[in-house]
Structure 1
């Protein structure tokens, strides 16, 4: 009886390990595919692809918005600050 239980446990463990390895391979393949797509897009746009270029781009201060783009329609800026809630006293 003990031998049957140990055999079933080992078989279940091997099945779970096999499916875990398959999921890990799928994850690694999808990650490699995504990195490949990012590399191709960066090359087509003429930008370097790498960690150093990414951090240099992130450390640069953001450029000011261009007229005709956000914020708001026709480049008009908002007059009021954005707040989470506005509180009013109800009589």
Structure 2
């Protein structure tokens, strides 16, 4: 009976490991497809594709820091209730 349990655990472990590897391969393939689509869209629009170009574009679009407004402040008083 002990040998049967070990064989069953081994088979279950192998099945789960193979299932996990298949899931990882699907995730990697979908990520590669998404990056390829982003690359093609960037090339069509004439923009460079890369992290540095992305951050430079975001920095240009960033809105100026808004000033402190007293209307944004809420005064709250807390008291302990016995």
Matched with 1:35 is 35
Count of paired positions? 63
| Secondary structure of residue in 1 paired with 2:49 | coil
Q: Unaligned stretches of 5+ in structure 2?
A: 64-82
Separation in structure 2 between the aligned mates of residue 19 and residue 61 of structure 1, nearest angstrom: 44
**What per-residue deviation string (whole Å, max 9, x for no partner) do you get for residues 19-68 of structure 1?**
110011001000000000000000000000001001111111348xxxxx
Matched, 1:10 2:6: no
RMSD: 1.3
TM-score (norm 2): 0.72
Separation in structure 2 between the aligned mates of residue 47 and residue 61 of structure 1, nearest angstrom: 15
Separation in structure 2 between the aligned mates of residue 12 and residue 25 of structure 1, nearest angstrom: 20
TM-score (norm 1): 0.65
Matched with 1:84 is none
Is the helix fraction higher in 1 or 2?
A: 2
Q: Unaligned stretches of 5+ in structure 1?
A: 64-91
Matched with 2:75 is none
Matched with 2:19 is 19
Separation in structure 1 between the aligned mates of residue 61 and residue 34 of structure 2, nearest angstrom: 27
Residues 43-62 of structure 1: pairs in structure 2 closer than 5 A? 43-62=43-62
Greater length-normalized contact order (CA 8 Å, ≥ 6 residues apart): 2
